[in-house]
Amino acid sequence: MAQTNQWNAGLYDTKMNFVSEYGKEIMDWLLPAPGESILDLGCGTGDLCAQLSLAGANVTGIDFSAAMIEAARQKYPQLAFEVADAHTYRTDVSYDAVFSNAALHWMKRPAEVVETIWLALTPGGRFVAEFGGHGNCGQITKALRTVLARKGISADERSPWYFPSMGEYTTLLEKQGFHVVLASHFDRPTVMADGDLGLSHWLNSFCSPFFAGLSSDEIQQVCRDVARLLRPALFQEGNWVLDYKRIRVIAHKKSENDALHGGAAR
């Protein structure tokens, strides 16, 4: 069974800040309006919640990581944040939109998350998200699989990620009753900061489940071996460029009026 990632909020903010920077791109898909209520699912340290708030939205951020939420509260004390599991989260608030960036691929029971989103939305509300799609970080996963196998560890058994195809995920949404408006599955090569150290920062931020039970020295050796395997393909002009593949999606919760006219609202 996959284990929970051990999040370091400080490392995430200083070395993985590309996550929030890329997340700003999907604001053009969300188009937050003044006065709207928006739920940020997997808000991390709150940077995109702050952007939504600047647009005039009333935003609430939830994240499974207590460390992330504590950092978000310190950075943006004027905003509402809550430690919560998106698989089981329930709220009495009806949101105009649910937004998620770089979080859904950490949630390995996606049908439960889709139900959470559905229940949180007001009829006619919209769901806008970006997350890892099929093949995301495929070369990195292959290298981890090779290196950990030498230690008798199955990387596949420890993987914390869910990287669906676009068809797989939109089918989940439609089964719940959503109307999928737009969906895209695309390559997004992603440059890491700090030159040669970039891959190490990424592995330390996102791969702790793979390293469970290993000593600090063993983890460092695994990271060096993974880097050695990946360098010919992913180290370019002095920087690590990781093989990201993303899904973006917009879906609407059908209103009662839609249901009366033949929609499959649940």
Encoded tokens for 22: 């890329």
Between the CA of residue 134 and those of 59, 155, 162, what are the distances in Å?
A: 30, 17, 8
Strands (E), the chain: 37-41, 58-63, 80-83, 95-101, 121-132, 178-187, 190-191, 235-236, 239-242, 245-253
The per-residue pLDDT string of the chain (266 residues; one tens digit each, 9 = 90 and over) reads: 345 655 455 554 554 555 556 556 788 899 999 999 999 999 999 999 999 999 999 999 999 999 999 999 999 999 999 999 999 999 999 999 999 999 999 999 999 999 999 999 999 999 999 999 999 999 999 999 999 999 999 999 999 999 999 999 999 999 999 999 999 999 999 999 889 999 999 998 899 999 999 999 999 999 999 999 999 999 999 999 999 999 999 999 987 666 545 544 33
pTM over 0.85: yes
In the prediction, which pLDDT does 11 show?
Answer: 52
Count of residues making up the chain? 266
In the prediction, which pLDDT does 65 show?
Answer: 93
Sheet with 245-253, side-by-side order of all strands: 80-83, 58-63, 37-41, 95-101, 121-132, 245-253, 178-187
Cα 123 to Cα 133: distance, rounded to the nearest angstrom: 27
Assigned CATH for 9-136+161-192+241-255: 3.40.50.150
Look up residue 231 and give its amino acid: R
Between the CA of residue 184 and those of 24, 81, 109, 125, 132, what are the distances in Å?
A: 17, 29, 21, 20, 11
Cα 232 to Cα 225: distance, rounded to the nearest angstrom: 13
